[in-house]
Each structure stands twice: as structure tokens, then as C-alpha cells.
Amino acid sequence: MGRRVAVVLAGCGVFDGSEIHEASAVLVHLSRGGAEVKIFAPNIEQRDVVNHLKGSPAEEKRNVLVESARLARGSIQDLAELKASEFDAVIFPGGFGVAKNLCSWAVDGKNCTVNEHVNSTLQAFHNAKKPIGLCCISPVLAAKVFPGCEVTVGQDKNIDGRFPDAETASAIAELGCKHICKNVNESHVDKANKIVTTCAFMCKAPLHEIFDGIGTMVQEVLKLA
């Protein structure tokens, strides 16, 4: 029987929700790994809405659960209904929605607050010693909730202009966590906490390299499950 994996989304679209390529990559690799997947998102209003064509704010309101349903092809549940006892692992794709809707990192950095249902979900899986997978910016969730854990968001220096958000690694270290430098096609496994992370679009890399890196994260999560 395949592993039961919950995937938590943060909306639909890189600038105000889940990064679509990352969410799709996670789902493809889980499918290839034979996992049984259910998708969740918090039933809350988005922090903002961004016109993805213009890259500018849009004067409208959208709901994270409703927008995430686009990626889930309508098959999605409120995150408040997620029970860790019914799953073997949980995975959080990235995108600005993680830093805006799942927590307030986009505004408050390391002083951010984490959505109550996101926090309780992370705590529940961690307490049950079940693996947690995170990619792109979502490793900051683990850094905020689990002081002392090990994560990667890529490199801690902007090597060849490929890691423009390298300062995130410093913020993670300031939270008392250990940042592990990894390339885009790699993931890091914090064996003690069963946390698996990969940088994805935190690196300016070809899409297939990001896809492959997410694949290593998913594979490691399924191994730990």
C-alpha cells in the first residue's frame, strides 16, 4: 500500500499563492512514488492579490482554499480538517503564498507569526515522528516552529547571481537553526527531526533541475515514511 501524504497549498500563483510548477512537481513525484495524496489549504483570506501579468497588486480579495482548489482540480479540504493520524507524511510546496498566507515572513521576516492551523499541523506530524517535506521558501516554517532544526534554502551566498535570496539562510541561522548549503538538484535530510528540504525556485535554475531537486525531497520523505 502506498504512503499516505498530505500536501498543503497556499493559494495559486507564485506571487500570492503556491508556486504552480513546484506544486505540480510534488504531485508528479508523489504519484510516481505510489503515494496516496490528499490536498489541503487554510480557509482564510489571502494577504494580498497580485496581477501576475503586471506584477502589481490587484484591488480584489481572494480565499486561499478557493484558489488552491484550482491546483487540486477541486479535490481539496480545509487545513483545519487535516488529522496527522491519517497520514504518513506532509509536504509544503513553496511560493510567496507560504510567506504571506501560511505565515507572515514576507512582512516580518524572522519575527513572523505562523498560521495556527499550519503550526498545529507541523507540530502534530513532528510529535508523531512523521516526515515533513518543504521546498523553496517553505523551510522557514520549520525554522520558525522547530528551533534547532536543519534546513536548506539553497546557498548562503548569491553565487553567480543564482541565489538572489541567499540572506534567507542568515535569517534561518538567527532563529537558532542550522542552514545547510545545497545545490538546486539536492535536498537535505534532518534525520533527527525528519524534516526534508530543497531550495527549488530559491535558485535561478532551469525548470528540469528544480523538478529533479523536488524529486529528491519527495523520495527522501517517502523513505522516512
pLDDT in tens, 104-132: 999 999 999 999 999 999 999 999 999 99
pLDDT in tens, 6-43: 999 999 999 999 999 999 999 999 999 999 999 999 99
Specify the pTM: 0.98
Active-site annotation holder among 103, 135, 136, 199: 136
| Percentage of the chain modeled with pLDDT above 70 | 100
Per the annotation, the verdict on 136 as an active-site residue is yes
3-state SS assignment for residue 220: helix
User: What is residue 45's DSSP assignment?
Assistant: B
Give the rounded distance of the alpha carbon of 16 from its chain centre. 14
CB atoms inside a 10 Å sphere around CB 48: 17
